[in-house]
Amino acid sequence: MASRRQLSFQDKLDIIKEIDDGMKQIEAVKKYGLSQTTIASFLKKGKQIEEAANSSEINPQRKRLIFATNENIDSAIDSILINIENKGEKPFKGVNVKRESVNIIGC
């Protein structure tokens, strides 16, 4: 059994374009070494893949389209790490991150 590979959005978009240009799915299966189900799912999610590959916010080399459920998390983590860095502490100690997160949240 072949190992699982994850293709970037750009690679997926290239496969979709080749099939749209006339390549048969079975030819794409043989060329890329993917299953027919995988190729079919690329075609089914074609619009999402195209938007992701062409989006300026998402790197086209990215492989998954998963976002944080709370968009404020990234900015909160950045401010936590900046606060710890400004204090001259080692940033990736769990105790330091927990203390700063409690300070930001106010619990």
DSSP string across 50-77: HHHHH-SSS-TT-------SSTTHHHHH
| pLDDT, tens digit, 9 for 90 and up, residues 18-44 | 999 999 999 999 999 999 999 999 999
Domain count, the chain: 2
Can you give the residue range of the structural domain that contains 80? 71-105
Q: Examine the domain organization and report whether 22 and 50 are in the same domain.
A: yes
| Residue 24, pLDDT score | 94
Q: Is residue 65 part of a domain?
A: no
**Encoding tokens for residue 4?**
């699982």
| Residue 1, pLDDT score | 43
Cβ contacts of 81 within 8 Å, gap of 6 or more: 91, 97
Q: Is residue 90 part of a domain?
A: yes
pTM above 0.85, yes or no: no
